[in-house]
Structure 1
Amino acid sequence: MKNIQLRSVAIATTALATSLFAASAVAQDTGTTESWFDAGAKAVTERAVRPVNTKQAKNVILFVGDGMGISTLTAGRILEGQLQGKSGEENYLSFERFPYTALVKTYNVDAQVPDSAGTASALNTGVKTRIGAINTAPTQPNAQCAGAMDTALTPLAYYAEQAGMATGIVSTARLTHATPAAVYAHSPSRQWENDGELPEEAVTNGCRDIAQQMLDPIGGNGLEVALGGGRSNFLPDGTGEGRRKDGRDLTKEWLASDSRAAYVENEQRLAQIDIANTSRLLGLFDKSHMQFEAQRGDEQPDLAEMTEVAIKMLQKSDGGYYLMVEAGRIDHGHHGGSAKAALFDTVALSKAVRKAMEMVDLDETLILVTADHSHVFTMAGYPKRGNPIFGLVTGPYETEPTLAEDGKPYTTLAYQNGPGAVKGERKHLTEEDIADPMFKPQALVPTRSETHGGEDVALFAIGPWAHLVSGTMEQNVVFHIMDKALNLRKRAAD
């Protein structure tokens, strides 16, 4: 995966971030003995009378913060608060106030530290599988087509379509990337995003690329909405952006699938869509992944805008809907060693969840927010409360940055490995260094791309049957919670 280079051009979000690098922190309200004690007692009282909703859900929205581990949640929460002029620690991301929470184990059947293909497959099919494979059986060899379709796993969206529900995907990554692909596709290799990536064995044995599978009926009439990046995988080679070798233009095929289908490529066209008179909507806003929130211009919609349009499209269905929304670039920011990129996209996810909550009836809609896996991203060093989250560590009773054993300051945020690793003597960091949009917090082990982490991730839930989210669970259980809430497999079989 390529190292991430954030644009140095100052735009709104980057300008806001730069304001966080100042050495002075927000004045703190420490509270009193009584205020902390009373707040704790109130929290328990609220939990004691919390109602349990066991109605059959009409809709399910699954939000996936790709790579959004616990440390990312904490740092993202602080960033969101500091952008609002607070110290940050007292803030909650929109979904962190959901009434039910669990820890989720993320390993793949063949990997202690997972990838997004195996984890997204577990979320969408209820079965754990191999690293790098999308919705294929755990016994199926990776990247081998022969036999793969005979034992293919059935994703939730297939059951939803069979039951007469509407389905959709939203992602800031390519729509053929591992997490969104797990909603609709089957592939023994996540790399087979377009037909040019298919090896001879796959072609001989009848496997198809992921992009063309997005046009499949998937048990019903197919996806009603798909918004994200990855335009190149849908267009023929020789057209400037296209990578397809078969000459097919899948955007035209999408339009030909229904007289009221629509296709858009930028934010302005998305805003102009006549939702009431559009049956199927495809939006491809970049040739590859969409831009990071920290560098996004006015040509691409943000995650909240895409989520809003997707919900409006799906709400037209009397049979309910299943929507998967992915903040895909949290993961890519971390891989590039850019905490700034990852955390601004975490805040964007919080905004998207908040928008969804404003639009749906939580009495009939189950909303789940989780991550597919974590990253080797750390937050440490005893900084004082309110210390700028991207800044140098300064202790609670210090006026100058804390110094390490080598006599040099260090940042609160860092990585266990990645492109930010120091080769040779460590630099004496300054506030100007860390204010650089391309600054990478220090990493210990030098690797081309920072890696995933293997620890558990959080799962947050609100709505019908949300109380099933508790304790520590295997990742494939998430599918079964959604299935239970919707009574879905039974409905699909009837």
Structure 2
Amino acid sequence: MVKVLALTLCTIGAAISAVSAQQGQFKRMSACPDLGCVFPPDRANFLAGAKFDVRVEVHAENGETPNADFSLTIEKLRGVDRDNKRRGSKAIDFSKYTKVKNTGPEGWNFTYYKDAAAYWKGQDGDEKASTPVNVAATAWRQVQLKEAGDYKVVLKYNNGKKTEAIWHVNPVQKRKAKNVILFIGDGMTTAMITAGRLISQRRVHGLYQTHLHMDQFKNMGHIMTHSLDSLITDSANSASAYNTGHKSSSGALGVYPDSSKTPFDDPKVELIAQLLRRRSKKQGGRGGVGIVTTAEVQDATPAAVYAHTRSRDEKATIVNQMIRGKDAVVADVILGGGGKYFHSKSGGKSLNGTDYYDVYQKEHGYKVVFDRDGLKNYKGSDKLLGIFHSGNMDVWLDRHVYKQNLAKSNTHPYGEKQSALNQPDLNEMVIKGLEVLDKRYRKEGWFMMAEAASIDKMMHPLDYDRGLADLLELDSTIGKTKAWLKRMKLDKDTLIVVTADHGHSFDVYGSVDTQFFNSAGDDSDAADLEKRNSIGTYENSGWPSYEDKDGDGFPDKWDVRFTLAAGTAGAPTHHESFQVHVNGTRVPAVIKSNSHHHYPVYVANPNEDKNGMAKSGTLGVTEPVGVHSLQDVPVFASGPGSELFRGVHDNTAVFHNIAAALGLGEEN
């Protein structure tokens, strides 16, 4: 299906000149290079029958009034004529064609920065650096296109100006899989998987004798991660692409970002979970939904399963959306962290002070658990809400090795002034969630998204040991999940997809003799020389000292002599020792106390890795941690429909492939 789609778009591209995306770092509006904007924009791809909103905006800058006399038409394109131009049936008024009335005229204003010079002047207090924009707009809600093919949408505005968009609607596919598990290793790249394999798998003379569970998938590919309007994606819009089949912008979930003031009225696109909830009886009927994460359940990747908002930071409202929002998903299983957004006790941040634990139990009959014992002891079939930390769950390395780091106040998920000392592992959450889904939807099938969130959350502060440990936890979970599916005789009915939402520029370039590194003298020049000489490359990049003698998939010791020389291209100024941080997550940079700027300036943390190598920053001075990178991320797949993931795909294809496998389309 994906290859056919790619050919279709190439054909359209040859026939109709596309509007190029705006170049440069600062833009007036995402995917809107002209003063007339149409969302969804040019080259958007749809699943037949999926619901979506349409927003039209007309802009006027520098105090001018936008012309509110605009029109929107749509026509179904039928083919290519002799002149290689697309033929259409007839352009028809959008409301008449879709039988959906628009919301009526709307208006507002906003400001933006035209370039980096203007932006940084604005950050330093120059109120005249931004450019004001006035907007005339309208929207169409809950539109459906059920006939597969190509559509041409034209906005006419400002006395003859036009903005054109070509939309492609994919055909309905026959259902192949009863169930789908989408594993997301947040921030996970091929280089990280390679490093994880290196420190955990047995090898003899350079030949691996054991392999990661990910290594054993038969179908593999690559995912391109660009967002709607930028090279580098964040977790929100990348996970949104996986759940909707549409591109979005940084921080956005399930919407095309518009310029309105509220983050909750942007044009929405339907989610996998929503489609599964209203799947036709012909395709198997309503299915179950499970969400598992080691982050807050309101965090970007899990929220992409159920939320619609321009801002991923609206976490209190996102909790409310999950259960009281319009067309709410109301997942059968929700497991992870984020307790502070469920209550208003000590440290609580819930919307309007609501006790959402009580809401979930009384309004929807959830069983609520708060620790590992409660999760393990639950044997029922009611919907399950398990919240195990006030924020993000603690990482594997601290839960299993450096347990003293768990003793922090106010981490209990229900506002108790206690530590969350009894948190479950990722595999325990996934297996329990699958047990509940299977009891509730054995006949109809289900979809689960399971995220190893702290691969990313540890790679940001350059804490590579903790990030790799959570990657190995994900791999262990994949193996245990496959074994459970086989025991339950569900393996032949279940599509498993393993991927990442984006990458980091992490890589390994050698090994380090930390004993030699730590013995360097105090003289700065001599010490730097000895530290650099402790790094072995090429023929001197000997094997590290990590071993897994007990065969659990994790190194037996993390504070070893020979470690990995690893780093990242995008990082703040910091010090690097190439050794595990025993006392908790790294803090590589801190705010400079005497900066003359109005914005924070970060410098190397003087209290961390004091004996490490000094590394100059490669990012803007307001960045305290490392950032995401451009690289494609791997995708592994097994089970019915897994062949769709072979090759190189856009991130939106993950949605379309899963939708095809589950038979989620709706045709005339």
- Same fold? TM cut 0.5: yes
**Could you list the per-position Cα deviations for residues 326-351 of structure 1 after superposition, in whole angstroms to 9, with x for gaps in the alignment?**
00011010011100110000000001
Does the alignment pair 1:135 with 2:257?
Answer: no
Q: Structure 1 residues 159-168 or 111-120, which shifts more?
A: 159-168
Tell me what 1:437 maps to: 582
Tell me what 2:472 maps to: 347
**Could you list the per-position Cα deviations for residues 298-343 of structure 1 after superposition, in whole angstroms to 9, with x for gaps in the alignment?**
6000100000101101111121100000000110100111001100
Tell me what 1:287 maps to: 390
Does the alignment pair 1:193 with 2:315?
Answer: yes
Tell me what 1:78 maps to: 198
CA contact (8 A) 1:143 1:188 kept: no
From 206, 212, 231, give the equivalent of 1:112.
Answer: 231
Does the alignment pair 1:274 with 2:397?
Answer: no
From 301, 307, 318, give the equivalent of 1:179.
Answer: 301
Does the alignment pair 1:60 with 2:180?
Answer: yes
Looking at structure 1, the residues matched to 563 and 332 of structure 2 have their Cα atoms a distance apart, in angstroms, of: 49
CA contact (8 A) 2:321 2:328 kept: no
Identity of aligned residues (%): 29
Does the alignment pair 1:145 with 2:248?
Answer: no
Q: Structure 1 residues 320-329 or 245-254, which shifts more?
A: 245-254
Tell me what 2:508 maps to: 379
Tell me what 1:304 maps to: 427
Q: Report deviation, 1:70.
A: 1.5
**Could you list the per-position Cα deviations for residues 193-220 of structure 1 after superposition, in whole angstroms to 9, with x for gaps in the alignment?**
01xxxxxxxxxxxxxx111112148758
Higher-Rg member (1/2): 2
Tell me what 1:413 maps to: 566
Q: Report deviation, 1:172.
A: 0.2
Q: Report deviation, 1:110.
A: 1.4
Q: Equivalent residues in 2 for 1:215-364 (5 A)?
A: 215-216=323-324, 222-236=330-344, 239-259=345-365, 261-275=366-380, 278-296=381-399, 299-316=422-439, 317=441, 318-360=443-485, 361-364=490-493
Q: Report deviation, 1:87.
A: 7.1
**Could you list the per-position Cα deviations for residues 256-284 of structure 1 after superposition, in whole angstroms to 9, with x for gaps in the alignment?**
1244x210111011111123xx3110011
Looking at structure 2, the residues matched to 417 and 232 of structure 1 have their Cα atoms a distance apart, in angstroms, of: 31
Looking at structure 2, the residues matched to 307 and 94 of structure 1 have their Cα atoms a distance apart, in angstroms, of: 16
Looking at structure 1, the residues matched to 340 and 213 of structure 2 have their Cα atoms a distance apart, in angstroms, of: 34
**Aligned partner of residue 418 in structure 1, secondary structure:** coil
Q: Report deviation, 1:73.
A: 1.1
Q: How many corresponding residue pairs?
A: 396
Q: Report deviation, 1:295.
A: 0.2
CA contact (8 A) 2:307 2:321 kept: yes
Task: State the structure with bigger RCO (CA 8 A, min sep 6), 1 or 2.
Answer: 1
Q: 1:455 to 1:257 in 2, by over 3 A?
A: same
Instruction: Looking at secondary structure, tell me which structure has more strand per residue.
Output: 2
CA contact (8 A) 1:169 1:324 kept: yes
Q: Report deviation, 1:80.
A: 2.3
Q: Report deviation, 1:103.
A: 0.7
Looking at structure 2, the residues matched to 323 and 125 of structure 1 have their Cα atoms a distance apart, in angstroms, of: 15
CA contact (8 A) 2:287 2:446 kept: yes
Instruction: Looking at secondary structure, tell me which structure has more helix per residue.
Output: 1
Q: Structure 1 residues 215-224 or 245-254, which shifts more?
A: 215-224
Q: Report deviation, 1:179.
A: 0.3
CA contact (8 A) 2:175 2:660 kept: no
**Aligned partner of residue 465 in structure 2, secondary structure:** helix
Looking at structure 1, the residues matched to 307 and 540 of structure 2 have their Cα atoms a distance apart, in angstroms, of: 54
Tell me what 1:102 maps to: 221
Tell me what 1:92 maps to: 211
Amino acid at match of 2:355: D
Looking at structure 2, the residues matched to 483 and 345 of structure 1 have their Cα atoms a distance apart, in angstroms, of: 29
CA contact (8 A) 2:298 2:315 kept: yes
CA contact (8 A) 1:77 1:88 kept: no
Looking at structure 2, the residues matched to 92 and 193 of structure 1 have their Cα atoms a distance apart, in angstroms, of: 39
Amino acid at match of 1:100: N
**Aligned partner of residue 73 in structure 1, secondary structure:** helix
Unaligned runs of at least 5 residues, structure 1 = 1-53, 195-208, 385-390, 403-408
Unaligned runs of at least 5 residues, structure 2 = 1-173, 280-285, 404-420, 514-531, 545-561, 589-611
CA contact (8 A) 2:291 2:448 kept: yes
RMSD of aligned residue pairs (Cα, Å) = 3.1
From 635, 638, 652, give the equivalent of 1:462.
Answer: 638
Q: Report deviation, 1:191.
A: 0.7
Tell me what 1:368 maps to: 497
Looking at structure 1, the residues matched to 306 and 636 of structure 2 have their Cα atoms a distance apart, in angstroms, of: 24
CA contact (8 A) 2:264 2:309 kept: no
Q: Report deviation, 1:71.
A: 1.1
Looking at structure 2, the residues matched to 154 and 96 of structure 1 have their Cα atoms a distance apart, in angstroms, of: 33
Amino acid at match of 1:178: A
CA contact (8 A) 1:159 1:488 kept: yes
CA contact (8 A) 1:161 1:218 kept: no
Q: Report deviation, 1:480.
A: 0.6
Q: Equivalent residues in 2 for 1:156-167 (5 A)?
A: 156-163=272-279, 164-167=286-289
Amino acid at match of 2:315: E
From 243, 261, 271, give the equivalent of 1:155.
Answer: 271
**Aligned partner of residue 248 in structure 2, secondary structure:** coil
**Aligned partner of residue 617 in structure 2, secondary structure:** strand
Q: 1:435 to 1:420 in 2, by over 3 A?
A: farther
CA contact (8 A) 2:503 2:628 kept: yes
**Aligned partner of residue 93 in structure 1, secondary structure:** coil
Looking at structure 2, the residues matched to 177 and 368 of structure 1 have their Cα atoms a distance apart, in angstroms, of: 21
Looking at structure 2, the residues matched to 218 and 484 of structure 1 have their Cα atoms a distance apart, in angstroms, of: 25
Looking at structure 1, the residues matched to 237 and 541 of structure 2 have their Cα atoms a distance apart, in angstroms, of: 47
Looking at structure 2, the residues matched to 375 and 142 of structure 1 have their Cα atoms a distance apart, in angstroms, of: 32
Q: 1:141 to 1:476 in 2, by over 3 A?
A: farther
**Aligned partner of residue 257 in structure 1, secondary structure:** helix
**Could you list the per-position Cα deviations for residues 406-457 of structure 1 after superposition, in whole angstroms to 9, with x for gaps in the alignment?**
xxx99521122335724xxxx8x5xxx7254367796552641110111100
Looking at structure 2, the residues matched to 396 and 89 of structure 1 have their Cα atoms a distance apart, in angstroms, of: 19
Q: Report deviation, 1:485.
A: 0.6
Structure 2 length-normalised TM:
0.55
Amino acid at match of 1:64: I
Q: 1:221 to 1:62 in 2, by over 3 A?
A: closer
Amino acid at match of 2:309: S
**Aligned partner of residue 461 in structure 1, secondary structure:** strand
Looking at structure 1, the residues matched to 326 and 276 of structure 2 have their Cα atoms a distance apart, in angstroms, of: 9
CA contact (8 A) 1:173 1:329 kept: yes
CA contact (8 A) 1:117 1:182 kept: yes
